[in-house]
Structure 1
Amino acid sequence: MPKNVTLPYNGLALDRGRRGDPDWVASARAAGRVLAFWRDRCLVAGGVPVNMTTSPREALFLGEGAVGVFAVDLSDVAEDAAVREADADAAVDIRGLFTGLDPQEAATLAYARGMLHWTRNQRFCGACGGETAAEQAGHVRRCGACRKMHFPRIEPAVIMLVESRDRRRCLLARHRGSVAFSTLAGFLEIGESLEDAVRRELAEEAGVLAREVAYQASQAWPFPSGLMVGFRAVAETDTVAVDHDELDEARWFTRDEVRALGDRRPDSIESHLVGTWLREG
């Protein structure tokens, strides 16, 4: 059985239970913290996220911690205008800030980024095209024409560490346009289980059939709206037949060869999957 693990962006401690109380939300906004984003990038001053409590913009309620935490989106103006409005000095990718953040701050910023991305892309109803408006402090958008309610959706994806039959090597692939080797991953499709998705992705992209598929851990991944579900799999054969559609190359690596490739991105579940496998041999 997989052990409990703590992964980046997981464990968000904000309480969203009072989002249905507009009076409380308004009061919390006045005394709370308001994060600012521009087109999925966090506005910072001196490397620290700015606080736009006094901004007149509509704010999305993220949850309650020591104070209420909110987020505003300045994507309707140019980047330099957004920086000035927020009294910031830059708009940065939060993954670039990751190594300097504590786990709760990283989870909060990632959550804010994902929710604002959804809000920006749900301004119109997918059923009738009518304009939507925020309800539940920004966690629901209702169409003004057909009254359909729209909720934030996640896009689950599987990511897998695939072992050879003798378990001494793992499969890594180089995606088209990339120079780095990484584990395989892919989005879940309608009508399949998570395990089905692992087997399909391996077969489609690398021509590898899996005889064992075992869940390891999951990770919040709001970039923009994902959930990464990690698995270990064991191949039935060592034959690899790359599709050359999504992958340029895939091959088996020994543990020493994987170590020689260098470290993975520290905020990704891939680092956990590969690191766990390396420590076993």
Structure 2
Amino acid sequence: MIPEAPPAWSDELSGVAWSVASSLDRVGHHRRSAEWVAQLWRSPDARLLKLDAEASFTVLADGSLRLVKPFVDHDPQRHLLLGLVEGAPVFAVQAVVDGEVRSLREVGGSLSDVERDVAAAATALIRWHQMEPLCPRCGGETRVVDGGYARHCAACDEQHFPRTDPAVIVAVVDVDDRILLGRQASWGHRVSVLAGFVEAGESLEQTIHREIAEEVDVTLDRIRYFGSQPWSFPRSLMTGFFARASSTAVCVDADEIAWAGWFTRDELTAQLEAGTIGLPGPSSIAHRLIATWRSEPTVW
């Protein structure tokens, strides 16, 4: 089992998020040396996370990641160095995975902080290498370099790095401190806060105003940063916010949102207890946004 990181904490009400650094040291300068990476692979405390073609992996009975000791020769095109955890090298590889597999989405909430960082990095890198084996500039074949965090095209000498697509996720509350929750048609009875991708040339704040207006036709007058979360499905970074609504009439767009409505804390609790609605899983920033609103008043 990977050791647990110190607990993160954040002062969400002040709008300033504070947290400890990740215990996964990505060794950005050292991993440029292919020889140094290969030596880490041969280290007696090296560990390997195997992921299948869907970037799923196995967990042990106690819920921790199943990491194995590398036993084959190092292949820099397949074996990706995620980094060091308390000095121990951790690699990832796409391979045949024995046993029942789980995705990060399914088990992220039960992993320790550092295990979640390891699984998120592995998932993002594996998916990137699957999706972009060719040079986006000239179409030439590329090779894995930098321990797995980059690809190099010999044809045009370009270096390419994993893409991260920024997205916003927003807990909208009104002046009465009700929260706005909605659902897509495919979600069944589950509801969540609203989210959307940043478009070209937009700031995060502009995206929030546009997405909320497009999805539910609600306008906003205040926005406060909450926190962020890597969301490797396939390569997003979710940036979470609270926003105060300056209008409360809801008109859903019907393309992305099938239904949306306002909830007081008591109304949400009653429906959850009755089983008429459900919430996002505990591994998601959506869950943390809703939980924060449920536990304390939203102070602007």
Give me the TM-score of the superposition, normalised by structure 1: 0.88
Q: Hey, what does 1:79 align to over in structure 2?
A: none
Of 177, 186, 194, the residue aligned with 1:168 is 177
Partner of 2:240: 230
Q: CA deviation at 1:43?
A: 4.0
1:1-281 paired onto structure 2 within 5 Å: 1-4=14-17, 11-17=22-28, 18-31=30-43, 32-39=46-53, 40-44=55-59, 48-56=65-73, 57=75, 58-65=78-85, 66-74=87-95, 82-83=96-97, 88-164=98-174, 166-179=175-188, 180-259=190-269, 260-261=271-272, 264-281=280-297
**1:3: how far off?**
4.7
**8 Å CA contact 1:42, 1:91 repeated in 2:** yes
1:32-83 C-alpha deviation (Å, 9 max, x unpaired): 1111111211145656414150134530111122311111112xxxxxxx13
Q: What is the distance in 2 between the residues matched to 1:263 and 1:191? A: 32
How many angstroms does 1:181 deviate by?
A: 1.1
Q: TM-score, normalised by structure 2?
A: 0.82
Mapped to 2, the partners of 1:149 and 1:93 lie a distance apart of: 30
Which stretch of structure 1 is more off in the superposition, 48-57 or 24-33? Answer: 48-57
Indicate how the Cα distance of structure 1 residues 253 and 240 shifts in structure 2: closer, same or farther if over 3 A, else same. Answer: same
Q: Which ranges in structure 1 are unaligned for 5 or more consecutive residues?
A: 75-81
Instruction: Specify the code of the residue in structure 2 equivalent to 1:4.
Output: A
Q: State the alpha-carbon separation in 2 of the partners of residues 233 and 45 from structure 1.
A: 40
Q: Which moved more, 1:141-150 or 1:225-234?
A: 141-150
Query: Does structure 1 conserve the Cα–Cα contact (< 8 Å) formed by 2:16 and 2:225?
Result: no
Bigger share in strand: 1
Offset of residue 239 of structure 1:
1.0
| Counterparts of 2:18 and 2:185, CA distance in 1 | 31
Range that drifts further, 262-271 or 227-236: 262-271
Aligned residues: 267
Distance 2:103 2:249 in 1: 39
Structure 1 residues 12 and 257, CA gap change in structure 2 (3 angstroms): farther
- Unaligned ranges ≥5, structure 2: 1-13, 273-277
Tell me, in whole angstroms, the C-alpha distance in 1 between the residues paired with 2:203 and 2:231.
Answer: 19
Identity %: 36
